Each structure stands twice: as structure tokens, then as C-alpha cells.
Chains A and B, each alone.
Chain A
Amino acid sequence: MKPAAIVALIAAALFGATTASAEAPQDIQAAYAAQAGAGFTASAQRGRTLFTTRHGVSADFPACTQCHGTDLAAAGKHAITSKQIEPMAVRANPQRFTDAAKTEKWFRRNCREVVGRECSAAEKADVIAFLRAGS
């Protein structure tokens, strides 16, 4: 990908309002990876660890899987409201990671709640790599 496109993606992720746009999961991952710095390579294994670890910051949602479930190809369920949440795995849900602004917004909210802080660009790239696995 051209550097200009990467910059545009990062800008969209950071500053974008909620506009629907057609982006590709691998591009959104690449934008976070670029932000993480030279020499960084995303790891699905590290992404799995972040996603499945019980961080224990929130009693209601100790882990990401509390709402998204452990079978990532199946729908999850919001831990408080019981509302169904569409599958997180890209192979099961082609809508995943197709709107950089949306992705950035939910990383911000969910990392704060579950991990107790915002996730780094590296962690976000790892999680996307994990959720893209098998697609």
C-alpha cells in the first residue's frame, strides 16, 4: 500500500465521523501496523491472548469474550443488555473491519472498559490479525 493511503486510513480512523465506507480488513490492519512503527509485524497469537485473557478490570466484562463469545464465528451477546452481536470472525461476517472509523471507535470503548486503558496500535493490529485468521 502507498504511504499516502496509509496516512489517509489512519487519519480516517482517528478523526473520522461515523460515515459508512468500504474499506478492507487487511488495509485497516496495515494502517495500525504502520502506526505501530517500523519492524512491527502483527501476530494473531498475541491478538488471541488479548482477546481471551480475563483482564478483570470490570466485573461485568472481565474479557472481550464476555460479549463477543468464545466461538468467534457465532453471534455473541451483550453481557448487560442481552442484545445479539454479529460474529467477530471476518470469515463468518464480511462486514467486519470494513469501516476504519467504526473499528477505531469500538476499540477505544471496549479496551477502556475491559483492559482499563486504550489499546495501542500494535495491539489493535494483533487483534485484527487474530479475527482475520482463516478468512
Chain B
Amino acid sequence: MKTTLLFGALLAATLAAPAQAGSVTLPSGAPPVWKSECSSCHVAYPPQLLAKQGWQNVMNGLQKHFGSDASLAPADAKTILAFLERNAAPDGDRFDAASGRITDTRWYGRKHHEIPSSAFRSADVKSAANCQACHEGADKGRFSEHALTAVGRRFED
């Protein structure tokens, strides 16, 4: 029993470890309101790609959310923030972005350093935050370099 628990904890810790080479996964136990709310205008961005402060900034500014009105009932916002904080990346500079943009983190820059900024502005991508233009399974939290769309494969090294 104890060993199973320990093993379970280790496994959970491994799964929750942020983003080594493509190992991004959506955490289990996500509240339904996060899924329905935070994936209605774009893919649900995995919580472990941003540190706590970034998520707090996002959730405090939903009324003016990157040019959109994403305002929420306070109870829903609270549930979502608690989930994001629980699964956020550890503090430290790799996943920090006061702007609340994953695409502003150093981690994102490193994973995509081969991609010219003109590509992010091209008609079939339009934005660095448009993960699903290049990542086949982005809506399910899958970002492996082996599951790129035709557009994404253009930028493979």
C-alpha cells in the first residue's frame, strides 16, 4: 500500500514536471469550468507552461484579456485560478512572464528558436499563441515535435 502510494506520488511528480522535451500534458482533475471556459476562444493552454504570477496576472485581467472580453462569474474565476496555481510552473525565470503570455517566456523562445518571427505572422499561423496551427494535438495538450501539422513541419530542424 505504502509503496503504491509512493510510486503514485513519484509518477504524479514526473508527469507534473514542466515541459522537458515535449512532455507537456494536461493535468488530471482539471475542473470542468476551466475546460469549457479557457478553451472556448483558443486551445486550453497547459497550466505548467506559466509560473504562478503569470496566471494571477491573466486571471486578474479577464475583462481586458489580450484584446478580448473573457470576464467570468467570480466563483468560476476563483476555481480556475486555484487550479492554475496548483499546476503552475515553479518560480524561476524560465516560465516567468508578467504579460501572462506563455509565448513571452524564455522557455517558449528556446523551444521555438529556429522559427523566424515572420513565420508567426504568416497568414496560416497569425500568432505565436496559435499553437494548433503547428501542433496537431494542441487541443489535447500534446506538443511533441513528432506530431506537427503540415505547417509546423515546415519549421522542423
A113 touches B43 (CB 8 A): no
* Best-buried of B33, B73, B75, B76 by chain A (most CB within 10 Å): B73
Tell whether A21 is near chain B: CB-to-CB under 8 Å. no
Instruction: Choose among B36, B75, B133 the residue that contacts A82 (Cβ–Cβ < 8 A).
Output: B133
Q: Which residues of A contact B (CB under 8 A)?
A: 17-18, 60, 78, 80-83, 108-110, 112-113
Q: Contact size class for B?
A: 20 to 34
Q: Which residues of B contact A (CB under 8 A)?
A: 33, 36-37, 41-43, 66-71, 73, 75-76, 126-127, 129-130, 132-133
Which residues of A have CB within 8 Å of B68?
80, 109, 113
Which residues of B have CB within 8 Å of A60?
67
Taking the closest CB of chain A, its distance from the CB of B40, in whole angstroms, is 8
A60 to B127, CA, bound (A): 14
Please give me the residue from chain A that is nearest to B126 by CB atom: A82
Taking the closest CB of chain B, its distance from the CB of A85, in whole angstroms, is 9
Which residues of A have CB within 8 Å of B70?
109
B73 touches A82 (CB 8 A): no
Taking the closest CB of chain B, its distance from the CB of A81, in whole angstroms, is 4
B69 touches A17 (CB 8 A): no
Please give me the residue from chain A that is nearest to B70 by CB atom: A109
Which residues of B have CB within 8 Å of A108?
69, 71
11 interchain pairs, CB-CB under 8 A: A17-B73, A17-B76, A80-B68, A80-B126, A80-B127, A81-B41, A82-B133, A108-B69, A109-B68, A110-B69, A112-B69
B37 touches A83 (CB 8 A): no
A110 to B73, CA, bound (A): 16
A20 to B67, CA, bound (A): 27
Query: Contacts A60-B67, A109-B69; is A83 near B43 (CB within 8 Å)?
Result: yes
